[in-house]
Amino acid sequence: MESLFQTVDPASIPFALQVIGSLMGVAIVLGVAFDVVLLILMRRHPLARPAYAERMRRRPWSWREAGFLIMVLILGFLCSQVLAEILLALGMESGAQHIMQLQTLLFQVLAVGVIIYLVRRRGGSWRGAFGLGDGHVLLRIGQGVLFYLAAMPVVLFYGLVSMLILTSLGLPLDRQPAVEFMLDPTQPLLMQLYLAVLAIIGAPVIEEALFRGVALPALLRHTTPARAMLFASLIFAAIHLTPSAVIPLFVFAMALSLAYLYTGNILVPIVMHLLFNTVSLAMLVVARTWVPDLVP
């Protein structure tokens, strides 16, 4: 069995990478400190479950809206797949490749369009639908940063556990295809930048609107908060189609759900998700650039 850990000579690591590693270490220490503070605060002043659970249940999302949204997204995905197959059958490989590359953008545009339609059809507001405008923007951004720091030590721990399990079973430690594409130096730079923007900005906004903004309140109408968070987080981890990341993504999704339930504002998990994707991608790019042996 190939060893999961690699020995690296500290002198061979560039100074800039050492600084970045030190900053990451400080962030992890701060995260652990925030975890301790949160545990103490929650022990002294437990959050009344009916307060935040009922707040979510009053959001204007039910199985009908969630089902309609999922149906439109599935149909859009299937139509793009059929179009790509038709182009391939006609010998237009480049056109089919462009369709496949634009699927993520199509998914996000459709999701935004359907959500706007559903909110307007009910005559509701963005505050009523997602808690936007509830609390100062800087406060919510700060909460997102703090929740992100608090979640990272736990996510990293379970990520390490996942890698150890997969390595012991002889299974590959694969990454998402989009990440592989962005790290491949032979791919077009503009397409890599396009995917990076979608991953850093588009994915956090759309995925949080779908899973925390719509799915979680819809689930809460029919089950307990714990089960609703569990089910939404399992789906979130599964749709990324990366077996090696299922456990850490599930843990992070639970943290996102907790943050949304505790604050009631979708901006908080969006900030957490944005930081998660940005830092993860940046660290992979930095490691691939300066220490390529660590990122095979």
pLDDT digits over 217-264, tens only? Answer: 999 988 888 899 999 999 999 888 777 788 999 999 999 999 999 888
- 102 falls within a domain: no
Dihedral of the alpha carbons of 255, 256, 261, 262, in degrees to the nearest 10 = 60
Using a 10 angstrom Cβ sphere, with 0-12 exposed, 13-18 middle and 19 or more buried, the burial of residue 54 is exposed
Report the C-alpha gap between 82 and 109 in whole angstroms.
19
- The model carries a pTM of 0.87
- 1 falls within a domain: no
Report the C-alpha gap between 243 and 169 in whole angstroms.
13
- 4 falls within a domain: no
- 2 falls within a domain: no
Tell whether the model's pLDDT for residue 105 goes beyond 90. Answer: no
Q: Report the SS3 class of residue 181.
A: helix
What are the structure tokens assigned to 36, written together? Answer: 């301790």
Select the highest-mean-pLDDT range: 9-23, 68-82, 151-165. 151-165
15-33 burial, b for 16+ CB within 10 Å, e for fewer?
eebeebeeeeeebeeebee
- 220 falls within a domain: yes
Select the highest-mean-pLDDT range: 38-42, 46-50, 148-152, 165-169. 148-152
Range of the domain at 288: 14-62+140-294
Report the C-alpha gap between 203 and 198 in whole angstroms.
6
pLDDT tens digits, 183-197: 777 777 887 888 888
Tell me how many domains the chain contains. Answer: 1
- 106 falls within a domain: no
- 86 falls within a domain: no
- 24 falls within a domain: yes
